[in-house]
Amino acid sequence: MNSFFNDTDLQCHGAVMKEEARWIREKVMAHNKWFEESIPMIASENLMSPLAKEMLISDFADRYAEGLPGKRYYQGNVYVDEVESKAVDMAKELFDSSFADVRPISGTVANMAVLFAFAKPGDTITTCALAQGAHISTAEFGAFGQRGVNSVNYPFNTDNMNLDVDGTIKLLKEVRPKVAQFGLSVFLFPPPLKELNDTFNEIGCVVWYDAAHVLGLIAGKQFQDPLREGVNILSSSTHKTFPGPNHGLLLGSNLTEEQEKALQRAVFPGVTSSHHLHAMAALAVTLAEMKVFAKDYASQTCKNARALGQALYELGVDVLCPDLGFTRSHAIAVDVSKFGGGKDVSKDLEDANIICNKNMLPKDTSAVRPSGIRLGVQELTRVGMKESEMKEVASLIYRVAKKESPAKVKEDVKELKKGFTKIQWCFSAGEPAYGYHKLVP
């Protein structure tokens, strides 16, 4: 396994690892090996490039910065300021956005900043429901409910896994929300923003788009372009289809100066103090890489998702939305009721080294025993898989669903994965994709 330290280093330097530290290190190494031998398909994960990952073990990881570049509370931020200003510039350029803030430390923290800036307790926000694929932060028991906003769900068309346009226009006119929020965690198709634009203008709401799942596809111009379709504020995490660090991002368009300041104040001191400078630097590296690689990587990701949907469908698996090509994004949703439901199938798949999650589908009422699984192909694309490998992956999934022994399928998973352990679509293409990487002086 790749490791920043190896046992010889540790012995040569006379370091005696305490038992507990050794145990933890061994567990992490075991995890690295497991994922190297697995087919990871969680739609919200990805692999950082080695150059981006290197930032996580830089001295930025040990420092503090509060406020904005040039206006920090602490000294010692000379280079941090330069990196952060560059990251902001690159984010604006990549997404053609007039505002960017790279300080939120996660997608949910970015969402909380939007809530702090644009909604007070008692205000109404329109959003999707969890069973329609919404993110947990929009739920009554999530950040929306905890901010005390009144959330109202859009009418949803389960046949095309998208908003019912006429019903949504009617709802928006009736409810007149302060903020209309869009974006999903089972994000198969772009919401019909253009069709809703006149209504947004008529009621004068803030239009907010949570792009977490599709940020890399937007960067590669392979999904919709929300900031050109009426969205004022885009929040996101930076580690799903966008293959950066666990971090967050805010982008904006047509915001007033007061709205931009409100967002910046909401980020600090509202929902962060320092903002994980090592992750911010890793985001900066990923932005630089995505300026070069986003289009080809995102295009292959979308092709792979559709190929996986098609291959499973041809095997008789109930992939949602066959008439629409299954998806326009990196993910597909699969109804596995006839194979025992999402809970059992996802566990069996894990035992075969195929990692995915159970997921509610619109017909479900239980989040713990849902009928679906969600499959994302962005990480498999990142290690170089293409349409032909999607057929092989579909066959492996099908064998597990049909109750072939997971242990037996696991051996074939490992064999397939042997050819796909190197990172692609980045400046350090060809380097090992899993584990640690040495800092290059």
| CB nearer ligand DSN, residue 131 or residue 196 | 131
> Using CA atoms in the order 45, 47, 48, 49, what is the torsion angle rounded to 10 degrees?
-160
| CB nearer ligand DSN, residue 214 or residue 385 | 214
Binding site for ligand DSN (CB under 6 A): 44, 107, 135, 185
Residues 190, 223 contacting (CB under 8 angstroms) = yes
Closest distance of CB 351 from ligand DSN, Å: 21
Structure tokens at 210: 């949570």
Query: What contacts 266, CB < 8 A, 6 or more positions away?
Result: 112, 113, 114, 116, 117
Closest distance of CB 107 from ligand DSN, Å: 6
5 three-state secondary structure: coil
* Angle between helical axes of 165-175 and 193-203 (0-180°, round to 10): 10
Residues 203, 347 contacting (CB under 8 angstroms) = no
* 432 DSSP β-pair partners: 422
Structure tokens at 40: 């990871």
Closest distance of CB 25 from ligand DSN, Å: 27
| CB nearer ligand DSN, residue 246 or residue 395 | 246
Sign of torsion, CA 189 190 195 196? positive
* 332 DSSP β-pair partners: 375
Closest distance of CB 110 from ligand DSN, Å: 11
Phi–psi pair at 40, nearest 5 degrees: -80, 125
Closest distance of CB 44 from ligand DSN, Å: 3
| CB nearer ligand DSN, residue 47 or residue 196 | 47
Task: Report residue 437 CA to chain centroid gap.
Answer: 23
Structure tokens at 298: 């995102």
| CB nearer ligand DSN, residue 160 or residue 246 | 246
Closest distance of CB 45 from ligand DSN, Å: 8
Closest distance of CB 212 from ligand DSN, Å: 6
Closest distance of CB 231 from ligand DSN, Å: 19
Closest distance of CB 423 from ligand DSN, Å: 22
Q: Establish how many alpha carbons lie within 13 A of residue 342's alpha carbon, considering only the half-sphere containing its beta carbon.
A: 21
| CB nearer ligand DSN, residue 90 or residue 302 | 302
| CB nearer ligand DSN, residue 65 or residue 249 | 249
Closest distance of CB 135 from ligand DSN, Å: 6
Q: Which residue is it, tokens 């800036």?
A: 117
| CB nearer ligand DSN, residue 185 or residue 238 | 185
Instruction: Tell me the DSSP string of 186-251.
Output: S--S---HHHHHHHHHHHT-EEEEE-GGGHHHHHTT-S--GGGTT-SEEEEESSSSS-S-S-EEEE
Question: For 398, left (φ over 0), alpha (ψ -120 to 50), or beta?
Answer: alpha
| CB nearer ligand DSN, residue 97 or residue 357 | 357
| CB nearer ligand DSN, residue 88 or residue 212 | 212
170 three-state secondary structure: helix
Residue type, 415: E
CA 314 to each of CA 307, 308, 439: distance values in angstroms, whole numbers, following the listed order: 11, 10, 46
Residue nearest to ligand DSN (CB): 44
Residue type, 45: E
Closest distance of CB 104 from ligand DSN, Å: 13
| CB nearer ligand DSN, residue 47 or residue 255 | 47
Residues 184, 130 contacting (CB under 8 angstroms) = no
